[in-house]
Structure 1
Amino acid sequence: MRFQAPESLSEQIAQHIGQRIIVRDLKPGQRVQELKVAGELNVSRGSVREALLILERRHLVEIFPRRGAVVSELTPDSVDALYDIYIDLLCMLGRKVLERWSGPELGGVMSQVKELQAVIDALNSNAPDAAEQVIDAGFGVMRYAYRLIENPFLEETLENFRPAISRTYYVALEHFRTEIEETATFFRHLADAAINGNSDLLEQVIQEFGEHQRKQVLSILTEENA
């Protein structure tokens, strides 16, 4: 049995600010003012300061002397560095699942993928929160995989990457609405490879989709900076 400690106030604040950064409500280079956030959320500046330190560790803000916290920039170098390690970590997660479980026991993975497809089917692709719903449903599949392997170190590492990868994924989904169905296709292929116990195919599916996402995000950054 695992006991989850309640999220601290600073973590809740970090998630609130982080989500605003992910959906580009707070844009790169924009200051995050402690006093303003504290007033809006009716919390202490100390709690906001701790939340900003959490966001700094998650690479969503940078903190400068005398200037305070600023939303970090998305650069080609940072995107490349993020995807280099994230793709490898997802491949590791997939391998660990197949090492511990066989095809018939992975029926739950397909159930999670069907839930994701149901979310996508029910969506109006022009809905303002469509991208957020797809991202959250996709991470639901990963959370299921965490439970299968019971490796808290890998889970914690991937979860720490979640805000940064969600930020880039949101950029891709906002610019290319076809990415919503691409996401569903990716998870279907992933589930098929898992059910068949084909670790080589599973890694190939992860790598191809990861590289596809990287390419989409980099193309958007190049266009925005032109």
Structure 2
Amino acid sequence: MTFIPQDSLTEQIARYLGHQIITGHLKPGERIQEMRIASELNVSRGSVREALLILARRHLIEILPRRGAVVSALTEVEIRSLYELWFMLLKKVAMNAAIMWQDDELAQFTALIKEMGEYAERNDLERFYDKLSVFLTVIYPYANNSFMVQVMEDLLPTGKRCSYMVFRLGKSELMRLYESFVHVMDKVLKRDAEGAGQLVEQIGAEQLKLALDALRVQVAQ
């Protein structure tokens, strides 16, 4: 991932390091050295330290006494907790969206879904998740709860990390995930809140199983 300054400096550093964790270039338990990162990116250690606080909030690292920042481990308990909370919140968003969406939002929904489909066909996980992130920023406000939105935004990087773990084992099912997502949006656009909520629950269970299977293979290796 190329480091290109944009947004706030600390956010860009957090994204740069987060990408390395999500894609597995930084391993669980590996220490993140502030001085090395500051030198590598030509930024101050203070900026790196602030970025690490962002990564801790997003559950990608832990900041430990006398050890500093280390990449957090993915355990079965943590993966189950992630999917339980994330998809519970996504269910509420989908159900609210089915009731509240406006006609002038339809074109934006359609364009984003189409782009996601193109990346799913190419099995391009990185760009698929980039576009999914954009889509989620569009629908998260339907939660009508700023605290929920912040929680969902902070959970997304770990969800993406789980997807990469599945992807690395050759078990990526992007097209199936995309098709399931399209079915949810079909329910949303038909104002079928209950149907949308049920499909989100089903997708969450399927994605949880894939992530747990991938974790068990990784641990056994």
Asked if TM exceeds 0.5, the reply is: yes
> Residue 96 of structure 2 contacts residue 193 of structure 2 at CA under 8 Å; is this kept in 1?
no
CA distance in 1, matches of 2:198, 2:41: 44
Partner of 1:195: 189
Partner of 1:146: 140
Partner of 1:210: 204
Partner of 2:118: 118
Please tell me the residue identity of whatever aligns with 1:174: R
* 1:133-184 Cα deviation digits (max 9, x unpaired): 1211222322221366665443322112121111112222332454111122
Partner of 2:3: none
The equivalent position to 1:173 in structure 2, one of 164, 167, 175, is: 167
The equivalent position to 1:183 in structure 2, one of 174, 177, 182, is: 177
Matches within 5 A, 1:48-67: 48-67=48-67
Q: CA deviation at 1:101?
A: 2.5
Q: CA deviation at 1:119?
A: 2.5
CA distance in 2, matches of 1:205, 1:85: 16
In structure 1, list runs of 5 or more residues that go unmatched.
1-5
In structure 2, list runs of 5 or more residues that go unmatched.
1-5
Q: CA deviation at 1:109?
A: 2.5
Runs of 4+ in 1 over 3 A off after TM superposition: 102-108, 146-154
Please tell me the residue identity of whatever aligns with 2:157: P
> Residue 21 of structure 1 contacts residue 167 of structure 1 at CA under 8 Å; is this kept in 2?
yes
CA distance in 2, matches of 1:217, 1:96: 27
CA distance in 2, matches of 1:215, 1:149: 26
The equivalent position to 1:220 in structure 2, one of 205, 214, 221, is: 214
Q: Secondary structure at the match of 1:225?
A: helix
Partner of 2:129: 135
The equivalent position to 1:157 in structure 2, one of 122, 126, 151, is: 151
User: What's the TM-score, normalizing by structure 1?
Assistant: 0.86
Moved more, 187-196 or 33-42: 187-196
Distance change (3 Å), C-alpha of 1:200 and 1:225: same
> Residue 86 of structure 2 contacts residue 155 of structure 2 at CA under 8 Å; is this kept in 1?
yes
Q: CA deviation at 1:110?
A: 3.1
Distance change (3 Å), C-alpha of 1:110 and 1:26: same
Matches within 5 A, 1:73-84: 73-84=73-84
CA distance in 2, matches of 1:102, 1:112: 16
Partner of 1:3: none
